Chain A
Amino acid sequence: MIYLDNNATTALEPEVLDEMMPWLGGTPGNPSSIHSFGQETRRAIDRARTRVARFIGAQPEELVFTSGGTEADNLALFGAVAASGTTTPHVVTTIIEHQAVINPCRHIEKAGGVVAWAPIDANGLIRPEDTIALFKDDTLLVSVMLANNDIGTIQPVRELSNATRERGILLHTDAVQAAGKIEIDVKKLGVDLLSLSAHKLYGPKGVGILYVRKGIRLKPLVFGGHQERGLRPGTENVAGIVGFGKACEIAGARLAADAARMETMRSAFETAICERIAGTTINGLNAPRLPNTSNLSFEGIDGEALVINLDLMGLAASTGAACSSAENEPSHVLAAMGRSPAEARSSVRFSFGRHNAEEDVARAIELVAQTVQQLRECRQ
């Protein structure tokens, strides 16, 4: 099997697992205990916190460990709303966010708040000036993803930060898909809040962080002990946090090399596919893109049928939209780019990763070309 679905999740790095093992099978330490067991565990968490902080240019005390990217996004949005004192806030976001931002925003709307949804252009990018035009005097928070999970376009988040700072608006970015693929520096981005997830960068599932810039006040969504400064109570997922720290350390050290390698593979893949398969469109081609993500539309092809046929042939890819019936909505991202439902349904996402070998690329090209041709013949 060839795995080209690294935007869905990545394989745990063996070195990460090695660091996690003592915390899965070893001492019983609760990091909040005062004895030596507790102290050792607390040190492990501190070390991990420092590693993750260094990875995004933050201070360790600015991080809140969560159960993953979704919880981090929810804490950013609802935590900010809860701290604002209003139950009917004004929020600005985009129509191409992950569901972990879209659905909290819909919830805010249902509860009486107002959400302005920034559009994207045909290249899959928001326009900073159009997005800033949506800001109002009482806007509480702006949430714009750093890189889109479906098509990999990198959004101009930093071009919003002057405007948000001037107006005293909180700027949140969901950086889950960007991590390990492009540099992330909270200072350069100028964001107040940033979400990350470990399992997208060869760490374990079930752990993430929300970066909360020093001085920003949030309120917790769950209540309990003092852990994570009371913003995320509950005994820490020690093994997960330790693994996350190691994964960030590796990703930071390998970032340039990983990105260059993935981009080489992606480029070879796209060039060959476009040469061999007529009617192929590279979605997001004219925008800055993550180096690993290739979202392709194949004229006249049903994306889901292609994904299943590829799976049966030994290649794992994905459709943007995780639904399968002919009349289900196609990718909301491609729809937002102005693609017709038929075009959107004909798209498949291939996402490369650190563990792909060069021969995977050649084999993948072969399988995709063959399968698209078969599906087209079968329609005639």
Chain B
Amino acid sequence: MFQVNRAYPYIFYLSLAIYLFSLFWGLFLTPEDFVQGNSYRIIYLHVPASFISQSLYLAMAIASAVYLIWKVKLSVYLVRSIAPIGAMTTFIALISGSIWGIPTWGTWWVWDARIVSTLILFIMYLGLISLHDSFNNYEKADKFLSILVLVGSVNIPIIKMSVEWWSTLHQPASITLSEKPAIDLVMLYPLFGSIIGFTGLIACLVILSSKLQIIKREKNKSWVKDYV
């Protein structure tokens, strides 16, 4: 049988190697951008972090729906364990975006639709954590958590489409499913590598965090006592 515990070290070291290699490739082996010079290189952190922060929310929304419909307890443990990781990656996306904004836009913050909707995502992650922790009854906490996750999921298409719907300072997406990437191949390969590596590292965090949640929630069960 497949065991996450056994696969974990391989996933971790492989993802770490891929991310560090892509980072080295992107930072030292690719040419400068024709407009932005060296400052564009922050995409090797900013893009994976932003991509993951939205993907994690999508995963939480699916897990919440599974919990509400089929009452699978594991899926709501997953929702609770993803939330702090989502908050962290959104924070990285906001900070790296601010750092990128200073040399390119000339400001670290602007009330732009893309940025505000991402800030809302960050606050939502924090709100979901505190909502869940404020109940002393797990059944109620799980129910309200998953309902609120579903309500908040409207923000994800808003973040995605914000650069199309409003005139934002933030540029539109460079990589889309329908069109040829607007980023040159020599920069695109390390970018893909950094997204894959970063995703793997975050997956490892999700595994650890959900293990913690399972043990915390099942602490009275005999198997947990044997395990710990």
Q: Is this pair of chains taken from one and the same complex?
A: no
Interface residues of A, Cβ cutoff 8 Å to B:
none
